[in-house]
């Protein structure tokens, strides 16, 4: 455009450091230049379509994308942290039987800017509602992050680098249903963020029955990939295990989980199951979950019980189903 190089640096800073959603906001550019930019380019910013606030303070957002697709994200406030739960795809192709998003068709991958915008918008809500900045980001919304590998990695780069939002990668967790090839690639790239595996059963037959991805990425392959990741990065993996009544919550299943967990450097998060309309699964009782945790602790494993938040607005783990329509 025949403009000095420093103008490009200013625009980059407005987009990725100051999170400008329009050229009009770029006030240190001349008005003629802003008008030229408006004429030639478009910022396809993500917009908040709706928001719901749970009685526990959790806020669920429906985001509208430039092509009218809709995704969901969640702000999860607790006493110690302010977490953004973001999506990586429109829909999902993995069809996990207990997850509402799994019943949606995958429409497309999100691009790095759409991932970045979710973090910015949820961060603004954190300040507006709680006057506390975001402390953590989890890729646990809609989609499988490792099936949108390049865009998720680029999005995290803009979120973490000093020329972007400057957040610490150690405060980011990417959750996968277990794409072993890509888990190894994360190791090869020596990523600094955390990795969580959605496990939910430590027996191949049972896991395949609720998570079809296990047919091609089974438990033996996962052990190998997770150990490879740990050897390369030194980062302990988190195993996520939704405790579902009479599906994976018996003593036998706890022992299977213990045997699996002993093969990898990990900690275990037991998650309360959140029922969805599309499936007949039910949540285990608090007593059953406590008993399950005790068995794991007796096996000298690190275990946390994660209480679900935002259940009353379908914002809890596994409940994001895109009920909004444009």
Which are the catalytic amino acids?
A: 72, 317
In a 10 Å sphere around its CB, with 0-12 CB exposed, 13-18 middle and 19+ buried, how is residue 33 labelled?
middle
First to last CA, the chain: 36
Q: Contact at 8 Å (CB) between 273 and 306? A: no
In a 10 Å sphere around its CB, with 0-12 CB exposed, 13-18 middle and 19+ buried, how is residue 48 labelled?
middle
**Cα–Cα distance for residue pair 112/274, rounded to 1 Å:** 29
**Among the residues of the chain, which ranges form H helices?**
5-16, 31-40, 112-130, 149-160, 180-188, 204-210, 219-233, 251-261, 286-298
Phi-psi label, residue 133: left if phi above 0, alpha if psi -120 to 50, beta otherwise = beta
**Cα–Cα distance for residue pair 134/82, rounded to 1 Å:** 5
**Cα–Cα distance for residue pair 129/53, rounded to 1 Å:** 10
In a 10 Å sphere around its CB, with 0-12 CB exposed, 13-18 middle and 19+ buried, how is residue 223 labelled?
middle
Instruction: Return the exposure string of 231-251: e unless at least 16 CB atoms fall within 10 Å of the residue's CB, then b.
Output: eebebebbbbbbbbeebbbee
**Cα–Cα distance for residue pair 224/194, rounded to 1 Å:** 18
Token pair, residue 130, equals 């709680």
Q: Which residue has the tokens 């803009």?
A: 158
């Amino acid at each position: 455009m025949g403009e000095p190089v420093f103008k490009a640096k200013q625009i980059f800073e407005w987009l990725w450091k100051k999170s400008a959603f329009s050229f009009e906001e770029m006030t240190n550019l001349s008005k003629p230049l802003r008008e030229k930019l408006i004429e030639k380019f478009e910022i396809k910013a993500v917009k908040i379509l709706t928001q719901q606030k749970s009685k526990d303070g959790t806020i669920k957002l429906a985001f509208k994308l430039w092509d009218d697709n809709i995704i969901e994200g969640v702000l999860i406030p607790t006493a110690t942290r302010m977490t953004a739960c973001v999506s990586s795809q429109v829909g999902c192709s993995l069809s996990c039987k207990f997850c509402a998003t799994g019943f949606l068709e995958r429409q497309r991958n999100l691009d790095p800017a759409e991932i970045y915008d979710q973090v910015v918008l949820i961060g603004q809500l954190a300040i507006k509602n709680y006057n506390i900045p975001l402390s953590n980001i989890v890729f646990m919304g809609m989609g499988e992050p490792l099936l949108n590998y390049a865009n998720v990695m680029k999005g995290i780069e803009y979120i973490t680098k000093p020329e972007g939002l400057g957040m610490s990668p150690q405060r980011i967790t990417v959750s996968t249903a277990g794409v072993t090839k890509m888990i190894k690639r994360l190791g090869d790239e020596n990523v600094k963020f955390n990795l969580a595996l959605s496990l939910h059963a430590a027996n191949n037959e049972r896991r395949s029955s609720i998570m079809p991805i296990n047919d091609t990425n089974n438990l033996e392959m996962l052990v190998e990939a997770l150990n490879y990741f740990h050897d390369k990065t030194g980062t302990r993996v988190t195993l996520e295990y939704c405790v579902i009544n009479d599906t994976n919550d018996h003593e036998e299943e706890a022992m299977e989980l213990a045997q699996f967990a002993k093969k990898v450097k990990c900690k275990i998060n037991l998650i309360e199951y959140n029922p969805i309309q599309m499936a007949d699964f039910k949540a285990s009782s608090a007593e059953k979950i406590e008993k399950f945790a005790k068995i794991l602790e007796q096996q000298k494993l690190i275990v946390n019980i994660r209480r679900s938040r935002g259940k009353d607005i379908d914002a809890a783990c596994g409940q994001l189903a895109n009920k909004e329509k444009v």
